[in-house]
Every structure is written in structure tokens, then in C-alpha cells.
Structure 1
Amino acid sequence: MPKGKGNAIAQNRKASHDYFIEETFEAGMVLQGTEIKSIRAKRVNLKDSFATIRKGEVFLHNMHISPYEQGNRYNHEPTRTRKLLLHRKEIDRLIGATQQEGYSLVPLKVYIKNGVAKVLLGLGKGKKKYDKRQVLKEKQMKRDIDRALKERY
């Protein structure tokens, strides 16, 4: 069961469609004051976001956090690059994994844990078009079987 399942603020539903998620990592985010207020108000979008590793640090790109309503001049830029906080061992493992062909870091969900905003990162291998079709066929067959069993009993 992935971490932070219960109180998800935003989820990247397309990630499981586009990637085989092999491993997940929980990371903290370096945020500004108005960003955490917008996150608590559930004004976050993970649609086109991705994570990269530069100089031994992990950064989250294109995560959209809407400007806070009462933020006035102290408001933040909605899609700025945000630093993620991970343990050194985790970062080293991610560096090794992302250097392999086809692997990338995908944010899966944003949630609040003990008053702190966290992001669940998934180490994913990109799916090909035929993989996506195969997964859809399997889901449809499972649905048909469940429907048939439900009608029987």
C-alpha cells in the first residue's frame, strides 16, 4: 500500500496509465508561505509535472500551485521549480535508477502528513502504446468477469 493514501490532496492519475511504477519514495517539498496555504486549499495540479536530479539534489518541475487569494505581493509563481527533500541514500539510488534507459521520476500524489506537505514520487518505466492497450484489455476482461459473476449470484 503506497504511503499517504488516505489524505491525498492531488493525484496524478495519468502516471499509472503512462508508466509502470516500480518503486515509490516519499519526499518533502521546500515551499514558500503562500504555497502551503494554496496546497491546504487543494489548489494543486500534478498533470504535466516531472522530477529531475541535478548536482545531487532532486527538483520538481511544472507542478502548478494556484496563487493564494489573500497573498497580495508576497504570492508565488504558480509553476516554479521546487526542491524536494530526500535522504542521501534515496537520492543515490534514484540517480542510479534514472540513468537506465526508459526510467523517469513521476510525482504520483501530494498530501499533508503531520502538518507537512509531502509528494509521493514514483520511479517509472515508460509504457509503449501496445502496453497501454494490453492493460486496457485486461481491465475490460476483469470487468466483464466481475459482471458475469455478479449476475450469476
Structure 2
Amino acid sequence: MKIRTATITLLVTSAFAGSALADKLPKDAIKLSASEVQALYADKTSDWSRINSYFAPDGKYLLVGKNGQFLGEGRWSVKDNEMCTDVLIKGVKDGGSKKSKDCWAWYKQGAKYWTLWSGEKNKKSGYYSNELQKLLTGDKVSKKYEELSSPN
């Protein structure tokens, strides 16, 4: 079970990794409101490097590994300028599981949006500005989630 959990931890941690083009938050950037952050995610699919996840308007959260090795189900919510996910991630083949919580804080500078992922180790220079490009309209995850979660 330790190997399963370690494998899932590694997959999840690397799946949410932020952009390599991280920077400092500009001094004139302002926090987004909760309603602005809610609108960024509701009925959107993320296209992150190793996972796709769907943010249903009712707060349901689904994710699938692009490699087909893991999937997850949980909830997403917004408080202030931060969107957080609470999810149980499961290995498709080995059945191992791990709970995970991640958050993204949002700021705006003029027309440019800045994000800081909670897993970023560098809290001063870990901001990035390409997260909006990774959010696609609609549900592009549920079908793959069902395929991966149904017995073969």
C-alpha cells in the first residue's frame, strides 16, 4: 500500500505543478473577488500538463490522468480570491488512493491575470500568468472518467 500511495502522490504532485515561467506578483496586482474566481472555473475543463479536470457549476470536481493511470472525484469551492479542490485520487490499476487538496490564488493587473498554486514552493516568485489559457469551456472529462472508473 505504501508503494501505491507513493506512486499516486508523485503523479498528483507533478500533475498540478505550475508553470516553469514563474515570476513575482506585480505590486499593482489586485485580488479577484470570489464571484470573479467562480466565473473563471464554473463549467470549465483544465488542460494541465498531466491531467484534465472538470469544474462542474454545482461544485463537483472530476479529474483524469492524461496517461490513464489515475482518476479523482471531489469538490471545488471558492473563498475570497482562492479556488480550492478537495479530491480523492485513485490509481486505476492498483486501486491505491490518496486525498489531495490544492488551491489557486488569483490576482489581476490591468488585463493580465496572475495565479499562485498552493503546491508552489516559491511563494514570492511562483506566480504565473498563463492559467486562463489552460481552462477550456465545457466538460471534456466526464466521459473519460466513466471509461476509467468502469470495470473492464
TM-score norm. by structure 1 comes to 0.30
TM-score (norm 2): 0.30
Higher relative contact order (CA 8 A, sep 6+): 1
Query: Which protein shows a greater Rg?
Result: 1
Q: Larger helix proportion, structure 1 or 2?
A: 1
